[in-house]
Chain A
Amino acid sequence: MYNPFSLEGKTILVTGAGGGIGRATAVACSKMGAVLVITDINPETLTETLSLLEADGDRKHLMFVADLTKEEDLNEMVAAMPSLDGVVCNAGISKVLPIQFLNAEDMNRIMAINAFAPMYMTQRLYKKRCINKGGSIVYTVSISGVSMVSMGGVMYAVSKNALDAFMRNAALEFAGRNIRVNSVNPSRVKTPLIQNSVYSEEEVAKDLQTYPLKRYAEPEEIANSIIFLLSDAASYITGHALIVDGGKTLS
């Protein structure tokens, strides 16, 4: 059957694969026929994701427990990496803090995982020629910091904006090797990241009204956008930030 979205024969690395979007992406990629290399700092959630991947006889998925902000972990993982056709840099965290309360500890932690870790991981994979020609890199950025800002969202916004700039630079530099580089920019997605929130239920209900589709995204909906960018269906798309926001940024 004609299917340009298929990931058959591709090996795809997904970071943050123990979390909401990462897990949904890894599972969806496995259903599209890919071999997965999954990684997360959390061994329990990562192992659970591994058990959810669709597999058959000759498809062997791999997993690495690693803190991507630690140089040793990153180097060890890259050293053991098979050659890849797709990379999904997705691990990330958030903390809401008004500018008056900014501090180096929180800022460095957020920049380290949201911005610097995906940059250095990309750099090492590219330098070691781990990513095959025709490959695709996708970053989970956000509409925050790129298309809009929100009260208290400064650290997250700054980290995602840095990643957005990196994505476009990498697209330019990696084109010579025919490696495409893009991002998905979601609005709020129903994952653990937005639970335990500083926002009250009432504020969330009000926020939902600002979405034309009147709901937050399911992680699977972000996964499908990532699949598109990973697949050969997107073979002429590079340096693009794909907004997946239920219409949030329309108004």
Chain B
Amino acid sequence: MEIKEFIQNFAEQFEDTDASVFTPDTVFHDLDEWGSLIGLSIIAMIDDEYGVTIKGDELRTAKTVADVFELVKSKK
């Protein structure tokens, strides 16, 4: 799995935040738009695209997009 593609999938879950904002270092919890529905969408996207189940607490602990990427990779 590629981080570039992961960031793209991650960014797609946001409505108002432009895809160009997202880098591996983006602290996504700090984005204005971040909220529970986006969190649930990220969890569902990861299940769909990567066949990996992550928990709310794991997503909560991850700081950056790269952290989530590593988490998914470690569970694959």
Q: Are A197 and B36 in contact (CB under 8 A)?
A: no
A251 at the interface (CB under 8 A from B): no
State in angstroms the CA–CA spacing of A195 and B57 once bound together. 12
Q: List the B side residues contacting A101 at CB < 8 Å.
A: 41, 44-45, 47-48
* Cβ B55 vs Cβ A197 within 8 A: yes
- Please state if B40 and A198 are interface contacts (CB–CB under 8 Å): yes
B57–A201 CB distance below 8 A = yes
Contact yes or no, A200 B57, CB < 8 A: yes
Interface size class of B (residues with CB under 8 A): 10 to 19
- Give the distance in Å from the alpha carbon of A96 to the alpha carbon of B39 in the complex: 11
Could you say which residues of chain A place their CB within 8 Å of the CB of B36?
A: 151-152, 203
- Contacts between the two chains (Cβ within 8 Å), count: 43
B56→A98 contact, CB < 8 A: no
A151 contacts B56, CB within 8 Å?
A: no
A204–chain B nearest beta-carbon distance, Å? 8
CA distance A151 to B57 in the complex (A): 17
Q: Does A3 contact B (CB under 8 A)?
A: no
| Residues of chain B lying within 8 A (CB to CB) of residue A100 | 41, 44
Q: How far is the CA of A199 from the CA of B36 in the complex (A)?
A: 9
B57 A98 Cβ-Cβ under 8 A: no
Q: Given the complex, which residues of A lie within 8 Å of B40, measured CB to CB?
A: 96-98, 151-152, 198
Q: Does B59 contact A (CB under 8 A)?
A: yes
CB atoms of B57 and A152 under 8 A apart: no
| Of listed B37, B39, B45, B56, residue having the most chain A CB within 10 A | B56
B75: CB under 8 A from chain A?
A: no
Is A56 close to B, CB under 8 A? no
Task: Tell me how far the C-beta of A174 lies from the nearest C-beta in chain B, rounded to whole angstroms.
Answer: 39
Whole-angstrom distance between the alpha carbons of A152 and B44 in the complex? 10
B41–A199 touching, CB < 8 Å: no
A202: Cβ under 8 A from any B Cβ? yes
Bound form: Cα–Cα A203–B59 in Å = 12
A202 to B39, CA, bound (A): 13
Q: A98-B37, A151-B36, A152-B37 are in contact. Are A200 and B59 (CB under 8 A)?
A: yes
**Partner pick for A198 among B45, B48, B56, CB 8 A cutoff:** B56
Which residues of B have CB within 8 Å of A201?
Answer: 56-57, 60
> Within the assembled complex, what's the spacing in Å between the Cα atoms of A199 and B37?
11
A206's nearest neighbour on chain B, judged by CB, is: B36
Question: Do B44 and A97 have beta carbons less than 8 Å apart?
Answer: yes
| Nearest opposing residue in chain A for B44, CB measure | A101
**B13 CB to closest chain A CB, in angstroms?**
9
Q: List 16 A-B contacts (CB under 8 A).
A: A98-B40, A98-B44, A100-B41, A100-B44, A101-B47, A101-B48, A152-B44, A197-B55, A199-B56, A200-B39, A200-B55, A200-B56, A200-B59, A201-B57, A203-B56, A203-B60
Task: Give the interface of B toward A (CB within 8 A).
Answer: 36-37, 39-41, 43-45, 47-48, 55-57, 59-60
